[in-house]
Structure 1
Amino acid sequence: GYFVEYRITCPTHCPNLLQFTADEQEAVQKRTFTKWINSHLAKHVPPFEVKDLFDDIKDGVMLLALLEVLSGQKLPCEQGKKLKRIHWLANIGTALKFLEGRKSAYRGSPIRLVNINSTDIVDGRPSIVLGLVWTIILYFQIEELTSSLPELQAFSSSNSSLDSSTSSTDTTSPPVKRRPLPPLQGGARKALLRWVQQTATKCLGLDVKDFGPSWRTGLAFFAVIRALRPDLVDMERVWRRPNRENLQEAFLLAETELGIPQLLDPEDVDVDKPDEKSVMTYVAQFLKHQPIRKQSVSEGQPEEVREQRKSQRELKMWLEQLEKEAVHAQETEGSLAQQYQVSLFKSLQVQLEMKRKQVEGALQSTQRDGILTVDQALVKQAWERVSNRLLDWHLELDRSLPAPLGTVGEWLHEAEGALRQEITVQQAHDITANTVHRALEQHKVSVEQCTGRRRCFCSAAHRSKP
């Protein structure tokens, strides 16, 4: 259960005031952050799922998988069932070095991880794990998405002073011992809050001044949904309902109509001081559905940049649609010949290959450090998902061929997979050397398997001669 402290005050002031302890605040963040992580790990190939955040993150495997999904980059990772603590520390160290190598979209300076080290993560210290995940959410979601809003760029750059001193969670969130946060957090928080005010709540007369108590009634969530999809919300009906009912329906509506995962539970928000970090994590997801507003070049981003972003989003949507068609076609029953010829497999494969050059062009980074933007990373994720879907389907079809063709087809897929494997050059040369060595060993095994299977194939072919 959760630790809840009941504080009874004088009836003339505020009777029976319910206040959560730090343990409950920590539990809320843990639930929200776990759901956020799983919403991204579902896109990983293969998909992963975090069940206990403090325990499952210890070996660094899921942490590196999360960073791969968010960044669109391949990261080296020690994997296996018999990993020891030294391997855990190596994986966490790789993740932290990668994070420190990223740059702020606001200031261009590297991400600072203050008092977050590998040992504390491996030991599963709750405050440090939550602090690390919050840093990832802040930089990879809230900062990236708010900085890409043209109408907020001027505001964000001129108002990047520290704002966390006024946050309602400063005394209630599980603290991570660290120096005052850099100006970035204030800028990202202010930009997100200003987006909510300008696009959703101001026109309805709602006073949303924070990411805590202002969201308790659920009205602010409906206002954001209404700003993106006016046809979904009847505010006249919403005004008259109790908090829990509003919160439950708003979260369900956002999930079913906008595809936004339910990171929050109504009982976590319908309290005196909802956790600001959890609410910010959820609200920031709505930014992905913000339509690109037509502007002059002087108003915000250059026309060329806006067109690139539009093209990347359209390409991502096309890839997602192709993946849906592949899933539907693969589930259609039929003979082996029908699946090869009639089930659209060849057609889908040709369509994907025709888009290859366009995808490669879209993934050419325009940033100085060569790091992909959020839109580029999403395109890369969509491309990898549909590519792997068709590869798995192809392997399934080849395995169904009569012997020995099925065995040979399976080997060909394994060999192609080894050739496609990316080797990321690391600053630590010993890590790079180990990665190359493992790749060479895998290639050596593949060659030996090829020789054996070729003999098997030739022998079978010889026996089949009249």
Structure 2
Amino acid sequence: NMISCGKSYCPDVFLLYGQEAVQKRTFTKWINSHLAKHVPPLEVKDLFDDIKDGVMLLALLEILSGQKLPCEQGKKLKRIHWVANIGTALKFLEGRKVRIRLVNINSTDIVDGRPSIVLGLVWTIILYFQIEELTSSLPELQAFSSSNSSLDSSTSSTDTTSPPVKRRPLALQGGARKALLRWVQQTATKCLGLDVKDFGPSWRTGLAFFAVINALRPNLVDMERVWRRPNRENLQEAFLLAETELGIPQLLDPEDVDVDKPDEKSVMTYVAQFLKHHPDRKQSDLEEKLEEAVTREQRKSQRELKMWLDQLEKEAVHAQETQGSLAQQYQLFKSLQVQLEMKRKQVEGALQSTQRDGMLTVDQALVKQAWERVSNRLLDWHLHLDRSLPAPLGTVGEWLHEAEGALRQEITVQQAHDNTASTVHRALEQHKVSFQQSLSTHLRLTSCFLKYH
């Protein structure tokens, strides 16, 4: 990263206006798209400064690998702790199955925030954890992408910020790059007559991005409309469309791509994200369609169930307003209560969460709310009817409702099992005393009522 300026040398010139500045922006956005998954979420604001202590770097590697890594943390970390954290990260990378070999790089380079070294390290991580892994998962591209080639960092002869990694023999260089380029050509661009032969100038017009989106989501892009539009307009719309429709973060800025020589590493980093939406084989595509069909059917069933519950609630309101004897009111209540109970198992099945986080979907939540509303309405109506019974049956009925409410009371499960057991024991003792005191009294009153009636 030294550029000759007459007799002297000007270090890091591209940091201000060249490829390093573009890579810094792109890599920062890529890192933040992953650190957003951290608990709590983390954010890199200045890549060269925020990576120095190694905390962000180790958090990123944990998210990407799913492995827990030791990390020195705290507000008063000293340089020795920073070096230790960076050392842990480098050792972890070197221990991966692909035998990542980092030469001419050490912990102090990162701690010192040397731009080309930091960018080179981040590029190696992107190359292995995103581009290599995704390209190697596609059967038709495995011949072009192997663990031996994943570490090649040279994407073009003009790239001034190649990371300091050990170079491979020429035949193995650029394997991941070739695999990704071949995927773009076979999947998206050749059928449209687009000549995409690199990850630089070929992407300037924005048409190649639209072609990839169109290949993954047919009929989403009007290719005829975008063919003759200005570059910036195409790029801006393509990045926004990919984010809203495919969930792909906008790692690139249109002004960074609409130049004579766009940064290839930045474009590769962005394009590789589309691989996640590529069906690996016809079987997976069929499975996805079946899963979508099942989901649509579930949502339809849940919405119909909610409509049924809403209708039952309306019938309950109408029945309560209907004039009639107490016996007739009981018959109406019993009819609605039986209908509700017959739907209990269906409702319980509909409320089984199918999401990874265990949360209910919007449709499931609406079913749950509708069930609780109609259940509470019928419960209140039942209590009102029982209270309307002649004494002492009204008092007995009210007591039974209170007893049932106590039995329905949920016991919060605490982290310590002993505490939960103690809570349950106290609740049972309280219910036992209450029942013993009240049951004999209410039974005596009821027997006296029945005796004289």
* TM-score range normalised by the length of the shorter chain: 0.5 to 0.7
The alignment's TM-score, normalised by the length of structure 2, stands at 0.58
- Give aligned pairs, total: 430
**CA 96–296 in structure 1, closer or farther in 2 if over 3 Å, else same:** closer
Structure 2 Cα separation of the partners of residues 407 and 117 of structure 1: 82
Deviation, structure 1 residue 406: 38
Which one is further off, 226-235 or 387-396? 387-396
2:52 is the alignment partner of 1:58: yes
Cα separation, partners in 2 of 1:118 and 1:203, compared to 1, 3 Å: same
Per the TM alignment, residue 231 of structure 1 is displaced from its structure 2 partner at its CA by 2.3
1:348–1:39 distance in 2 versus 1, CA, 3 Å = farther
Residue 90 of structure 2 is aligned to residue 90 of structure 1: no
1:140 partner SS: helix
Q: Following the alignment from structure 1 to structure 2, what is the Cα–Cα distance between the partners of residues 81 and 335?
A: 75
| Residue equivalent to 2:264 | 276
Residue number among 4, 7, 16 corresponding to 1:9 in the alignment: 4
Change (3 A) 1:177 1:319: farther
SS at match of 1:14: strand
Distance of aligned partners of 1:95 and 1:214 in 2 relative to their CA distance in 1, 3 Å threshold: same
SS at match of 1:244: helix
Would the alpha carbon gap of residues 117 and 174 (structure 1) be closer, same or farther in structure 2, given more than 3 Å must change?
Answer: closer
Distance 1:62 1:255 in 2: 25
Q: Compared with structure 1, are the counterparts of its residues 392 and 91 closer, same or farther at alpha carbon in structure 2 (3 Å cutoff)?
A: farther
What per-residue deviation string (whole Å, max 9, x for no partner) do you get for residues 137-178 of structure 1? 000000000000011113435995998767154347688897
3-state SS in 2 of match to 1:302: helix
Does the 8 Å CA contact 1:395/1:409 hold for their aligned counterparts?
yes
CA deviation profile, 1:326-378 (whole Å, cap 9, x unmatched): 9999999999999999xx99999999999999999999999999999999999
CA displacement 1:32-70 (0-9 Å, x = unmatched):
000000000000111100000000000000000000000
- The Cα offsets for residues 431-458 of structure 1, whole Å up to 9 and x where unpaired, read as 9999999999999999999xxxxxxxxx
Distance 1:325 1:140 in 2: 58
The answer to whether the 8 A contact 1:22-1:173 is kept is: no
Give 1:228 shift: 0.4
Check 1:62–1:165 CA distance in 2 against 1; reply closer, same or farther (3 A cut): closer
Q: Secondary structure at the match of 1:419?
A: helix
Q: How many angstroms apart in 2 are the aligned matches of 1:272 and 1:79?
A: 44
Q: Classify 1:400/1:196 alpha carbon distance in 2 versus 1 (closer, same or farther; 3 Å).
A: farther
TM-score (norm 1): 0.56
Alignment of 1:21-420 (within 5 A): 23-103=17-97, 111-156=100-145, 167=156, 169-171=158-160, 186-294=174-282
Contact 1:212 1:276 in 2 (8 A): yes
8 Å contact from structure 2 (residues 58, 85) kept in 1: yes
Contact 1:216 1:243 in 2 (8 A): yes
**1:127, 1:176 within 8 Å by CA — same for their partners in 2?**
no
Residues 173, 275 of structure 1: 8 Å contact kept? no
Pick closer, same or farther for the CA change 1:9–1:137 going to 2, 3 Å.
Answer: closer
1:390-416 Cα offsets, whole Å, 9 max, x none, are 999999999999999999999999999
Higher mean C-alpha displacement, 237-246 vs 328-337? 328-337
Which 10-residue stretch deviates more, 371-380 or 141-150? 371-380
More moved, 354-363 vs 238-247 = 354-363
The alpha-carbon distance between structure 1 residues 59 and 380, as it changes in their structure 2 partners (threshold 3 A), is farther
Bigger-Rg structure (1/2): 2
Once the two structures are TM-superposed, the CA of residue 221 in structure 1 deviates from its matched residue by 0.3
State how far apart, in whole Å, the 2-side matches of 1:277 and 1:94 are: 26
Maintained 8 Å contact 2:411/2:423: yes
Contact 2:302/2:350, CA 8 A, preserved across alignment: yes
Structure 1 Cα separation of the partners of residues 89 and 373 of structure 2: 23
Give the stretch that moved more between structures: 398-407 or 75-84: 398-407
Give the match's secondary structure for 1:346.
Answer: helix
Which secondary structure does the structure 1 equivalent of 2:41 belong to?
Answer: coil
Q: Deviations over 1:67-95 (max 9, x none)?
A: 00000011111111000001111111111
> Does structure 1 conserve the Cα–Cα contact (< 8 Å) formed by 2:124 and 2:151?
no
Provide the rounded CA distance (Å) in 2 between the counterparts of 1:90 and 1:178: 26
- Over residues 207-252 of structure 1, what are the superposed CA-to-partner deviations in whole Å (9 max), with x where a residue is unaligned? 0000000000000000000010012100000101010000000000
Q: Distance in 1 between matches of 2:237 and 2:418?
A: 53
CA RMSD of aligned residues (A): 13.7
Q: CA deviation at 1:24?
A: 2.1
Structure 1 residue 116 displacement after superposition: 1.7
Q: Which has the higher contact order (CA 8 A, sep 6+)?
A: 1
* Residues 298 and 88 (structure 1), Cα distance of their counterparts in 2 relative to 1, 3 Å cut: same
Partners of 1:396 and 1:87 lie apart in 2 by: 70
Q: 1:307 to 1:243 in 2, by over 3 A?
A: same
Does structure 2 conserve the Cα–Cα contact (< 8 Å) formed by 1:41 and 1:47? Answer: yes
Question: Secondary structure of 2:144's partner?
Answer: helix
Runs of at least 5 residues in structure 1 that lack an aligned partner in the other structure: 1-7, 104-110, 450-463
Aligned partners of 1:112, 1:441: CA distance in 2, in Å? 67
Counterparts of 2:83 and 2:124, CA distance in 1: 19
> Take 2:55 and 2:329, find their aligned partners in 1: how far apart are those partners?
36
Q: What fraction of aligned residue pairs are identical, expressed as a percent?
A: 93
Assess, with a 3 A threshold, how the Cα gap between structure 1 residues 375 and 368 changes in structure 2: closer, same or farther. same
Question: Which structure 2 residue ranges, 5 or more long, are not aligned?
Answer: 438-450
